[in-house]
Chains A and B, each alone.
With several copies, the nearest count.
Chain A
Amino acid sequence: MIEVRFHGRGGQGAVTAAQILATAAFYDGKYSQGFPFFGVERRGAPVMAFTRIDDKKIILRSQIYNPDYVIVQDASLLGTVNVVEGLKKDGTVVINTTEENMNLGFKTYKIDATGIALDILGVPIVNTTMLGAFIGATNIVSIDSVKKALLNRFSGKLGEKNAKAAEVAYNTIKDEK
């Protein structure tokens, strides 16, 4: 079973990202769960979300304390949240940042998702971009399934743009690898 934790801010779509990832896994023929950690926070406040992926039906219902992967949608979170808390020793972090020198003590992929998002979507909402980057880094689901999930989730142009953003990020990371 693979466990993924998303860190973001209210309004940045971390929960949606977790659900999209779960959906993509499902399209890949796997079982999955996508769910939020809920707080009373509003837009702008730190939030978390989770995805579980497995080959068999997932029955575990607790929150995720020892993820295999962590996705950080907003580097400014590092100031207030311990994003690597409980991350498995051989775990991986994918983080949205332009900062070059960043050591989180884990295998880390960096990407300027905000740049890509502003470029392609025109708004600094990075959830789908980060998802693409994450897949590029980890390959835990197929990028085609992610795109399909995005097209199903967002109607029309919006779906296409998001799929595009994911793909660009995916390739960016792939290339860097």
Chain B
Amino acid sequence: MVTIAAIIYEPGSTTKNKTGSWRTFRPIMDNKKCIKCENCYIFCPEGTIYEDENGDFKINYDYCKGCLICVNECPVNALTSIREEK
């Protein structure tokens, strides 16, 4: 059953689609090094870096596609990358 005119009534429902499986490389965050410049947060095309209750940035690997922009844009190398295990 499709909705009328294929209207989607559930906002943000792409979250059903775990794009984490796309990764070839995995970014790793070292919160100790992080200076909270917010670069990784704002530049992530997936919006999959979030601030947890402690004010630390975390990566939600369910969606991270492993583009490594965050790694590239971290001014203090708090982010690094490794090859994803398959």
Interface residues of A (CB under 8 A from B): 9, 44-45, 74-77, 79-80, 97, 124
Contacts and interface: CB of A to CB of B under 8 A. Distances in A.
Interface of A is mostly: loop
A173 B49 CA distance: 42
A44 B86 contact: no
Contacts, number: 17
B21 to A, nearest CB: 6
Interface of B is mostly: loop
Contact size class for B? under 10
For the complex of A and B, list the 9 residue pairs with the smallest distance between their C-beta atoms, beginning with the closest.
A44-B22, A76-B86, A75-B86, A80-B21, A79-B21, A76-B21, A44-B65, A45-B22, A124-B24
Interface of B: 18-19, 21-22, 24, 65, 84, 86
A80 B19 CA distance: 10
Contacts of A44: 19, 22, 65
A77 B18 CA distance: 12
Contacts of A75: 86
B19 A74 contact: no
Contacts of B18: 80
